[in-house]
């Protein structure tokens, strides 16, 4: 997938989150709570994705002057979508994994619909905030990523798009 501009990013974010929630919504109680060989259950994957989109949604709520004060500005151009995905995959291959607040607890089936709606709401809020950003701001301001390090807003959006795809493929391939 090649993404270049905000319009393409928005479409990919919408599509990937929708694909993930549609897949999760079709699951039975047994499927939703089942974690195989120490791997997260689908419910835990959903909770993890919510936990990663919430801080991003918050970051996009901040005025750009505050982003600059808190995290700084980029000293290099944004990587391509493929470049960012390659960097993330290399971190995973080197043993990188979720830590701290990004590790989900057990998720009961009764929370499925609530969590799907929560994730959809977070997606809608994030998309509204991205639409307010200027294209050049996506390459100017940076955010910290716990595994990848400091990356531009555009790269963080690339990560979010791929991250959904990554977790969906993990579930489908089990």
Using H for helix, E for strand and C for coil, what is the string for the chain?
CCCCCHHHHHHHHHHHHHHHHHHHHCCCHHHHHCCCCCCCCHHHHHHHHHHHHHHHHHHCCCCHHHHHHHHCECCCCCCCHHHHHHHHHHHHHCCCCCCHHHCCCCCCHHHHHHHHHHHHHHHHHHHHHHHHCCCCHHHHEEEEECCCEEEEHHHHHHHHHHHHHHHHHHHHCC
Q: Is residue 161 a part of any domain in this protein? A: yes
Q: Is residue 140 a part of any domain in this protein? A: no
φ and ψ at residue 114, rounded to 5 degrees? -60, -45
Q: Name the pTM for this structure.
A: 0.94
What span, in angstroms and rounded, lies between the C-alpha atoms of 170 and 162? 12
Q: Is residue 70 a part of any domain in this protein? A: no
User: 153-172 vs 6-25: helix axis angle to the nearest 10?
Assistant: 30
Q: Is residue 141 a part of any domain in this protein? A: no
Question: Looking at the 3D structure of the chain, how many domains does it have?
Answer: 1
pLDDT attached to residue 2:
65
Q: Is residue 98 a part of any domain in this protein? A: yes
Q: Is residue 116 a part of any domain in this protein? A: yes
- Listed in sequence order, the residues at least 6 apart from 22 whose beta carbon sits closer than 8 Å to its beta carbon are none
What is the block-wise mean pLDDT of the chain (174 residues), using blocks of 10 residues? 84 96 96 91 97 94 96 96 96 91 93 97 96 96 96 97 96 90
pLDDT attached to residue 4:
80
Domain that holds residue 119: 6-27+40-58+79-133+154-172
Q: Is residue 71 a part of any domain in this protein? A: no
pLDDT attached to residue 124:
96
What span, in angstroms and rounded, lies between the C-alpha atoms of 81 and 12? 11
Residue with tokens 């501009």: 5
Residue with tokens 């950003």: 133
Q: Is residue 96 a part of any domain in this protein? A: yes
């Amino acid at each position: 997938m090649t993404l270049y501009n905000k319009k393409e990013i928005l479409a990919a974010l919408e599509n990937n989150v929708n694909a993930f929630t549609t897949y999760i919504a079709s699951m039975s109680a047994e499927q939703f709570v089942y974690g195989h060989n120490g791997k997260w259950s689908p419910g835990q994957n959903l909770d993890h994705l919510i936990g990663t989109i919430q801080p991003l949604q918050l970051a996009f709520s901040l005025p750009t002057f505050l982003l600059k004060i808190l995290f700084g500005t980029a000293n290099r151009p944004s990587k391509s979508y493929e470049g960012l995905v390659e960097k993330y995959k290399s971190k995973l291959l080197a043993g990188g994994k979720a830590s701290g607040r990004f590790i989900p607890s057990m998720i009961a089936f009764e929370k499925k619909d609530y969590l799907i709606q929560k994730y959809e709401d977070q997606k809608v809020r994030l998309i509204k905030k991205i639409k307010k950003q200027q294209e050049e701001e996506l390459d100017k301001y940076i955010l910290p990523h716990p595994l990848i390090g400091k990356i531009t807003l555009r790269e963080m959006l690339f990560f979010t798009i791929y991250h959904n795809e990554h977790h969906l493929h993990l579930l489908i391939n089990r």
